[in-house]
Structure 1
């Protein structure tokens, strides 16, 4: 998979982009989780709240691991990127379900997708460099 917008498909650029996406998602996911607490609801509210919190924690951990393992394509970095991508997909899906129930809901779905895309792109670069 070609990685556009990154000079020479560099790992450093991928890490920078992924960390920035994770940091942005942490901010909006915390706001989204807080909004969940402000409304009465059913299991969808709880699911969204927990998915947001999970995503926040995974993104924070991903940022730390990537910062510690610059230029590292080891199994820990790859595993956390895969986990982060999955957590962001779960959070996006939960927020989209909330938006269907509450049309005025401000979701963090777009930020979740940016994290998922950044993780996917960095995984491709790391796997290519390990090849």
Structure 2
């Protein structure tokens, strides 16, 4: 083979290598774009969950305030029978809700998943229904 033929073969090999590299770059750019889209979706989910968390914390604070108010009101009642009934009612509520409270404590607030948010929603839903059945006005 002469020098021209070798140069031609070298240029053809370089051209083929460039084509392969272009394909690799396009594939990597597509993968990067998909990962960015996935990250944006996760960011939106995180922001939504943060908003839900803030709302739930506020509702929890309100419920605790109402519970404290109820405890103070129950403590002022002169009738021992009413106090005993109130304590019994609170104990029944505690028993009904304790299982769900334990489930809630198992959730890692710093690493919430979609499954965790569904669990938390169901816990709150059950809790509020139970409180309504017990006579608490929300």
TM category, shorter:
0.3 to 0.5
In proportion to residue count, which structure has more helix? 2
Higher RCO (C-alpha under 8 Å, 6+ residues apart): 1
TM-score (norm 1): 0.44
TM-score by length of 2: 0.42
Higher gyration radius (CA): 2
